[in-house]
Amino acid sequence: MGKRETAALFRTRLSQLQTQSGMTQSGFAEEIGIDRSALSQLTSGQNPRLPRAETLLALAARFQVSADWLLGLTDDRGIATQVLNTVETEQALDEENRTAMERWHTDATGQKVRYVPAWLPDLMRTPAVIAFQAASSEQERRRLQRQTDRRLMVSRMPESDIEMCMPLQSLEVFAQGRGNWTGISADARAEQLTHIASTLDELYPAFRMYLFDGRKRFAPPMTIFGYQRAAVYAGETYLLVRSKPLVRDLAQGFDAHIRHAEVHAHEAANWVRALRVT
């Protein structure tokens, strides 16, 4: 089947999904992450056209059909398990030298962002901590510093709305210089904790940190961008979730951690200041 025939069949099946959804054209377009004019081009433009990959994935995930069915490659509507998630690497830079995570933050401007850091909050790292994490690699030190500066800049934007939660033990272990932080000086740890506290004071209430008991609850390192996508940190890569139902599930789990927090946002800065460096 040629491209024109594929596009025509896609148009038919797209219109079928819209009719079955019972949604208005604007509502349907919003559900799959495009604007109304883009939807009109797909459903009633002069020439049938194929969608962008992300639109195809959003359609398949939202309406639980296979991409093959949408493109007319099968008559079996199927379940789109193969398109619920994709993986992007943190190291992949775009033409503006931004990492994938930075692009996702930019795309989510104006939406609520939920964030669980892997170790310490990236936007609050001091130069001494960055140098320690870079392990004598000047290239890595520059990359981490650039990442910290850019994420802090995003957090300072007037439209930012960021919630962060993490195990309180992560900060206690850092203060004590144990685990991954063995070898970093007490002065560097004290400076880092003071910097976290002062940054929390500066950014509150647009940036809110909650601490839960890691002995009772677990949250993987991740960032949830509104209800559009979530990125779960998996070492050298991020597991990028685009399925709205899955993103909602992750957001609900995150919100449960906040409800069970031992330290709430208005208490966080003073709690960090009170940590004893040993």
Is 200:269 a contact under the CB 8 Å cutoff? yes
- Taking residues 219-241, what's their average pLDDT? 84
Mean pLDDT of the chain: 86
Q: What is the pLDDT of residue 94?
A: 47
- Give the separation between CA 102 and CA 276, rounded to whole angstroms: 33
Give the model's confidence band at 78: pLDDT under 50 very low, under 70 low, under 90 confident, else very high.
Answer: low
Q: What percent of the chain has pLDDT over 90?
A: 46
Predicted confidence (pLDDT) per residue in 27-40, tens digit: 888 888 888 888 98
Reduced to 3 states (helix: H, G, I; strand: E, B; else coil), residue 125 is coil
With a cut of 70, say whether residue 99 has pLDDT above it: no
Q: What is the pLDDT of residue 92?
A: 41
Is 258:114 a contact under the CB 8 Å cutoff? no
- Give the separation between CA 102 and CA 107, rounded to whole angstroms: 9
Is 64:80 a contact under the CB 8 Å cutoff? yes
